Amino acid sequence: MRISLKIALFVMALCGALVASLWGLSVQRESRLLREELQRDVVLVAETLSLSVPVAPGGRGVAESTRLVMEGVQRVEPALAVDWLSADEAAPWLVAATRGQAAVSLVLDDAVGALAPLRDSDGSLVGAFRVTESLEAQRAFRSRGLRSMVLSLVGILLASTFGSLWIGRVLVGRRVDELVHVARRVGEGDFSAPPRPRGADELGTLMRELASMASHLEQSQQRERAAAQSRLAMEEQLRHADRLATLGQLCAGVAHELGTPLSVVAGRAQLVVRRGAPWADDAGVILQQTQRMTAIVQRLLDFARPTPPSFEACPLDAAVQQAFRLVMAQSKSAGVALRVSPGMTPVALRADPTQLGQVLTNLLLNAVHASESGEEVTVSWAVDQSVVHLRIRDVGTGVAPDLVERVFDPFFTTKEPGEGTGLGLSVVHGIVSEHGGHVEVESELGAGTTFVVTLPRAA
C-alpha cells in the first residue's frame, strides 16, 4: 500500500472520529438546552394559567373559568396539552411544593410538564392546571442533527481523503518515485543524474544523503577504473618488456652467428674488387649488400644490448633542431616540411643527449615516411610540473585502429617490404622507458598520427 493512501486513510479515520465526536456532543448539548427551554416555557404557561383564573371562596365558578382558559390555550398553542386536576388528583403531585409556589415541574418520559396549583382566597387547594408538551420537536431536532452530521461527515471524509491523497502525492509520492528511480540508476552504475534535494524534512535529508552516496560511489568507481587502467597499462608494459627481453636474446644470438660469416663474405668481396677481376662488379654488389646486412646486424645488437643512459640537462629546442638537421635530406626528398609550433617555451629534459636524439630522429623519420609531398610534420611540447609532453604530429595516412597497439612491437611495420626493419619504434619505447617516461600514439586512419613522449624535466 502506498504511503499517500495510508496517510489518506489515517486522516480520514481521524477526521471521521473527530467530527462524529464533536457532532455528538453538539447534538446532546442542543437537545438538553431545547428540553430545558421547553420546560421553562411549560412552567411559565402553567403559572400564567393559575394567575389568570379568579377563585371565589369555596371554589365557586372555577369550572367555567378553567374551561374557558383551556380552550383559549388550545386555540393559541395547539402543541400544549392543558388538563384540569381536582384537589384530590393534584394533591400527590404537590406534596413537595411549598405554599405560595406558582408551579412545579413534572418529570415525564416523553414530554415536559408543569403543575400550577389553584387556591382560593383562604389558601385552600381548589385544583391544578397540568400543562404538558410532547418532546417530538426534540426528537425531530435530533434526527435533523443526525442527518446533518452524516452528510457533513461524508463531505469532510471525501474532502480529507482527496486532499490527503493529493498532498501525499505531491509531498511524498513524487519524491519517493524520484528516489526509487535514482536508486535504480545508481544500482545500475549510472551516476549521471543524482537526486535534487528539496525541503528540510526527512525526505529532503534522505535525498541529500542519497546524492552524497551517489557522489562517493562515482568517485570510488572512477578511482577503481583509474586503478584498473593503471594495472592494465603496467601489465602491458611488463608483457612488452618481457617480449623485448626475449627478442633481445634472440637478436643477440642471431647477430653473433651472422656477424662472423658476414665479415668473411665482406672481406672476400673487398679482395675481389681490389684485384680488378672480371667479376669485380658482382663482387661490389655483394660487398654493398653485406654492408647493409652488417648495418642490420648492428641494429639488432643495439636493440638487444641497449646502452645505459647517461643523464644530463638537455635543452629540448636544441635537440629538436639537431634532429631536424639529421633528417633534413629525407624530408626534402619527400617534399615534407619540418617545423616547431610557435610560442614554445625553452625547457631542458633530464636525458641522455645521444639517446634523446635517437628518439627524435626515429619519430621524425616515421612521420616523414607517413606524409605525402606538400604536407608538414609539427613538433610541440608542453610543461606539466615535473614532466614535459613532447608531441610529434603528421597529417599522413594514419594507422588502422586494430594496428595502433602493435606499433611498438619489434619487427612490426606498416611500410613496404625492404623499407624498414620495424625496430625503430621498439627502440624508441625502450629508450623512453629507461628514462622513466612513456610514449603514447594517437592515430586516425586518413587523418594522421601523433606520438606523445613524456619525459622528466631537468631540475
CATH of the domain at 282: 1.10.287
- Using the 3D structure, point to which of 156, 172, 191 is the last residue of a domain: 156
What would the pLDDT profile of 18-40 be if each residue is shown by its tens digit? 767 777 777 778 778 877 888 88
Q: Which three cell numbers stand for residue 66?
A: 378553567
User: Residue 389: what pLDDT?
Assistant: 94
Residue 41 shares a structural domain with residue 108: yes
Which CATH number belongs to the domain containing residue 401 in this structure? 3.30.565.10
pLDDT of 302 over the 80 cut? no
Residue 134 shares a structural domain with residue 46: yes
Residue 272 shares a structural domain with residue 328: no
For a pLDDT cut of 90, what percent of the chain falls above it? 12
175 assigned to some structural domain: no
User: Residue 283: what pLDDT?
Assistant: 75
Which CATH number belongs to the domain containing residue 87 in this structure? 3.30.450
Residue 24 shares a structural domain with residue 143: yes
Give the contacts of 28 (CB within 8 A, at least 6 positions apart). none
User: Residue 201: what pLDDT?
Assistant: 67
Arithmetic mean of pLDDT, 145-159:
76
8 assigned to some structural domain: yes
Is pLDDT larger for residue 320 or for residue 97? 320
- Using the 3D structure, point to which of 242, 277, 305 is the last residue of a domain: 305
pTM: 0.44
410 assigned to some structural domain: yes
Residue 345 shares a structural domain with residue 270: no
pLDDT of 227 over the 80 cut? yes
Angstrom distance (rounded) from CA 178 to CA 161 = 24
59 assigned to some structural domain: yes
162 assigned to some structural domain: no
pLDDT of 247 over the 90 cut? no
Angstrom distance (rounded) from CA 443 to CA 418 = 24
Q: Which three cell numbers stand for residue 254?
A: 642471431
117 assigned to some structural domain: yes
pLDDT of 42 over the 90 cut? no
397 assigned to some structural domain: yes
Residue 45 shares a structural domain with residue 122: yes
What would the pLDDT profile of 201-217 be if each residue is shown by its tens digit? 666 777 777 777 777 77
User: Residue 324: what pLDDT?
Assistant: 92
Angstrom distance (rounded) from CA 298 to CA 256 = 10
User: Residue 252: what pLDDT?
Assistant: 61
Residue 293 shares a structural domain with residue 318: no
What would the pLDDT profile of 366-387 be if each residue is shown by its tens digit? 889 888 888 999 999 999 889 9
Number of domains in the chain: 3
Residue 250 shares a structural domain with residue 319: no
Residue 229 shares a structural domain with residue 133: no
Residue 332 shares a structural domain with residue 270: no
Arithmetic mean of pLDDT, 410-434:
69
Task: Give the Å distances, CA to CA, from 116 to 17, 77, 85, 128, 291.
Answer: 46, 18, 10, 5, 155
User: Residue 158: what pLDDT?
Assistant: 79
In what order do the strands lie in the sheet containing 111-119?
A: 80-86, 125-134, 111-119, 104-107
pLDDT of 58 over the 70 cut? no
Residue 76 shares a structural domain with residue 216: no
User: Residue 312: what pLDDT?
Assistant: 92
Angstrom distance (rounded) from CA 377 to CA 391 = 10
**What residue numbers bound the domain in which 317 lies?**
309-456
177 assigned to some structural domain: no
Arithmetic mean of pLDDT, 384-410:
83
Give the contacts of 182 (CB within 8 A, at least 6 positions apart). 193, 194, 195, 210, 214
What would the pLDDT profile of 67-121 be if each residue is shown by its tens digit? 777 777 777 777 788 888 887 787 777 765 545 556 777 777 778 888 888 777 6
Q: Which three cell numbers stand for residue 85?
A: 386536576
Is pLDDT larger for residue 263 or for residue 449? 449
Mean pLDDT of the chain: 77
Residue 300 shares a structural domain with residue 314: no
Label residue 243 by pLDDT band (50, 70, 90).
low
